[in-house]
Chains A and B, each alone.
Chain A
C-alpha cells in the first residue's frame, strides 16, 4: 500500500445516534457522537450505560434489534457505510474491520480446536490450501506470543485459560489483516498480570501492522496509558476528547471525578471523593 499524503482518514463519524424504541419508552443510548480515526489507538471510555459498546457495534453494524442507528456521516477508508447494504457491511466486517470481545469463551466454537478455527479464518479470507492455512495459523499463534503453538493448535477452547483464549481470539481476528480493530473490554475479564500481557501483544500488533484501534473500556487510567487519544462518554454523549498523555490535566468535571474516585495505591484517603453527576453535562 502506498502512503499518499491525501489518504482519507480510516474512519469518520459525524453525529452518530443509537436509539431503542419500545412500547414504554425510547432510550437514546448514543447521542450525537462524532470523531475521526486515523491509524492510531483511540480509547472510548465510560461507565456502564454510557453507550461505549454500542458505539463500537454501530460501526460494525452489529447493534441488536430493536436498536436504530443514524448518523450524518459514517465513512470507512472513504467508503460511505450508510449507503451500503447489510451484506456489504457484513463483507467489510469480516475482511477490513474486526472486533475482539470481552469474553473469548463466547466467541470461540467449543467443539473445534482453536488451531483449526484460526486456519478456517485464514481460508475464509484468502484462497489457500489446508496445509498453508495451518502454517499461517501456527504463525499467528506465535505472533500472539504463544510459546508452543503446535500444542495449543490442537487444544479445545475449554482447555485454555482466559488470557490465552483472548490471545487466540486476537490471532484469529488478525487472520483477515483488518485495517480497523475494535476491542470491546478485551482485558476486563482477565487477571491484572494477564491483562498486561494481552495489552502488550495488542500494542505491538497495532504498531507493526499500522492498524487503527478503537479500545473500548471502563478503565480510564488503563486507556490513558495504552491509547493515543481518549474520548470520555457519559450517558451516550461525549464529555471530553483529549490526548491520553494529558489525562491528568482533564478539564471536564466528569473525567476528573472518574479519575479521583478510584482508590489509589499512591494516595491515602479516608473517604474517596464521590462523583457528582450534573444534568447540565447533557446539554
Chain B
C-alpha cells in the first residue's frame, strides 16, 4: 500500500469551551477523492481548516505526504495543498480582476511563464480567455467558482481541499462544477478531500465517505454502501432517508430534538 496523501490521527479541535472535532482519524490515498459528510456544526469544515493551516488551534496528528505538520505552515506548504471555498461570492476579492487573482500566486512564488500559466489555468476550468480581465461582479456564480478552482490549481498542488464547493450554486451549475472536478480528479491525479452536507454530491464524487455528527466521525463507509442503504449507524440511516426525499412517514419518524 502506498503512503497516504493525507493522514489524520487523533485530531481534536477546541473553540473556547466547544469541542468541535473529537478524535478524528482517517487517511486519504493519493489520487482519491475522500468525502466528509455531515450537517452544520458537525465539525466537517473545521477538519478541513485544520488541514489547510487556516485554523492553527488543533491537537493531534496531521500528515501530508508523510510529513508531520505543525499548526503554522511554511510558504512551500501551499504548493502542495490548496483549497476551494464554499461561497464564490465571498472567496474572490471584489476589487481584483480575474487576471490579478490568478497572477497573485505566480508572483508570490516568483514562477516563470506567468502569462502562459494564467491562460492555461482559465482554459483548464473551461473559461474563455475573454473572462480574464473581468471583475468578479461581472461573472455568474458558476463562473466565479471556476475561477476559484483555477486559482487553486495554478500552483499545481497535489492535494485539493473542497469546502462545500457547490452548495452556494444552483443545481444546474452544480452539475457543471462537479463534472469539472471529476474530470480533474481523473485526468490530473489530484487527491481531493470533499466536505459537503449533501450525501448525493459526496456519493457522486467519492468512493470512501466519512459521516460526521457532533464533532465525531460516526461511520466510515463507501458510496456503494450508501447507495445500497447498507449503513451501520442510525444517524447515517436518518441522513440517508432525509436525502432521498420528503416522505411523510419518514418525516414522522424524525423526532424534533429540542
Contact between A and B in the complex (any CB pair below 8 Å) = yes
Q: How far is the CB of B223 from chain A (nearest CB, A)?
A: 8
What's the A-B contact tally at a CB cutoff of 8 Å?
105
Any chain B CB within 8 A of the CB of A146? yes
| B interface bracket (residues with beta carbon within 8 Å of A) | 35 or more
A146 near B251: Cβ-Cβ < 8 Å? no
Chain B 163-201 against A: per-residue CB contact (8 Å), 1 yes, 0 no? 000000011101110110011000000000000011111
Any chain A CB within 8 A of the CB of B258? yes
Query: Bound state CA distance, A274 and B183, in angstroms?
Result: 14
CB-CB under 8 A from B251, the residues of chain A are 196-197, 199-200, 203
Q: How far is the CB of B153 from chain A (nearest CB, A)?
A: 19
Query: Bound state CA distance, A270 and B179, in angstroms?
Result: 8
Any chain A CB within 8 A of the CB of B233? no
A47 near B170: Cβ-Cβ < 8 Å? yes
Query: Bound state CA distance, A220 and B179, in angstroms?
Result: 21
* B246 touches which of A222, A258, A264, A275 (Cβ 8 Å): A222
CB-CB under 8 A from A167, the residues of chain B are 256
CB-CB under 8 A from A264, the residues of chain B are 200
Q: Select from chain B the residue with minimum beta-carbon distance to A48.
A: B170
Would you list which residues of chain B between 235 and 258 have a CB under 8 Å from chain A? 238-240, 242-248, 250-252, 254, 256, 258
Q: How far is the CB of B157 from chain A (nearest CB, A)?
A: 24
Any chain B CB within 8 A of the CB of A192? yes
Query: Bound state CA distance, A258 and B175, in angstroms?
Result: 10
Any chain A CB within 8 A of the CB of B40? yes
A271 near B203: Cβ-Cβ < 8 Å? no
Any chain A CB within 8 A of the CB of B227? yes
* A163 touches which of B175, B198, B227, B256 (Cβ 8 Å): B256
CB-CB under 8 A from A163, the residues of chain B are 256
Query: Bound state CA distance, A38 and B216, in angstroms?
Result: 47
A272 near B175: Cβ-Cβ < 8 Å? yes
CB-CB under 8 A from A263, the residues of chain B are 175, 178, 198, 200-201, 203-204
CB-CB under 8 A from A145, the residues of chain B are 256
B172 near A225: Cβ-Cβ < 8 Å? no
Any chain A CB within 8 A of the CB of B9? no
Query: Bound state CA distance, A257 and B175, in angstroms?
Result: 11
CB-CB under 8 A from B176, the residues of chain A are 274
Offer 21 A-B interface pairs, CB within 8 angstroms, sorted by A.
A148-B258, A162-B40, A167-B256, A193-B39, A193-B242, A196-B250, A200-B252, A203-B251, A258-B171, A261-B174, A262-B171, A262-B175, A263-B198, A263-B200, A265-B227, A265-B243, A266-B227, A270-B182, A271-B182, A272-B175, A274-B175
**Which residues of A come within 8 Å of B, CB atoms?**
47-48, 145-148, 152, 161-164, 167, 191-197, 199-200, 203, 218, 220-222, 224-226, 257-258, 261-266, 268-275
